[in-house]
Amino acid sequence: MRFVVAGVVDGLLALSELGGANSSVEDQGSVMADCCAAQQRLRNDGQPTEEERVGGIQDDQVRALAALHEAQQKSTLGWATDESGITFAAADQLRRQDLVETADGDTLSRLASAQPGSALPQWAARLTRTGLDTLVYLPLRRAHGPATPPAVPRDGTREVILLPSEMDIVRLYVQVGDQLLQPPPSGLAEAVRTAQCPSGTTSRWALHVTAEEAEHIAYSVYLESIAHSARPHNRIAREYKLQHRPR
């Protein structure tokens, strides 16, 4: 219980620090959301909220999803049936997660008539677009691993603390880097991946970056100042003496 109370206090302190002319509505709203979540946990006597109970797909569900996809690909009509070796309970569980859709009676009849002499399938299912996307995304996400920082920051790095809206800017800059004439160094992408929230909330992001990478953070918020708002550029220039100067 005391950890939840600490979460509320940390959130309120962060919110007070964010107040004033240099904070955006989005940043304050992010912190307030953390406070509300912590308060909800207090009301639930420390039990996880419904949102927090949402977890990753289990390994047996991944195997069932992959097996259904394989059977679906082999089927001339694009449906996996009870002959796939997957139980209906497993397929229905995937359906409830919007990963597969199940066939109605008319579709089952059509599947049976497409193969004369075969029995009417007990059930049939095929992957939804979300299910197909999951098969693409999941192995990449698992191979990528959790975003854990190195035990010791890299030599020659400094810590830069970003607000959530500023972190979004740097992420976007890294994402479109290969399209830019002044792309970020590869180390910045790794710094973004391993960034952590010092207080355990989403009110701050701590990056450990080299001087070159810090310059590109400055460049990212400079681009933001042209495209949308100068607030992130001004704050980072003021607090970290990081400012991109056009040549």
pLDDT in tens, 160-207: 999 999 999 999 999 999 999 999 999 999 999 888 887 666 678 999
User: What are the domain boundaries of the chain?
Assistant: 2-43, 59-141, 158-240
Cβ-contact 99, 90 below 8 angstroms: no
Query: 23 CB contacts (<8 Å, ≥6 apart)?
Result: 163
pLDDT in tens, 79-104: 998 888 899 999 999 999 889 999 99
CATH of the domain spanning 59-141: 1.10.10
Record the tokens describing residue 95, joined without a space.
């359906």
Bridge partners, 159 (sequence order) = 208
How far is Cα 13 from Cα 233, in angstroms, rounded to an integer?
24
Q: Give the mean pLDDT of the chain.
A: 77
How far is Cα 31 from Cα 134, in angstroms, rounded to an integer?
30
pLDDT in tens, 96-127: 988 999 999 998 888 888 777 677 889 999 99
pLDDT in tens, 53-79: 335 788 899 999 999 999 999 988 899
pLDDT in tens, 199-245: 666 678 999 999 999 999 999 999 999 899 999 999 999 999 999 98
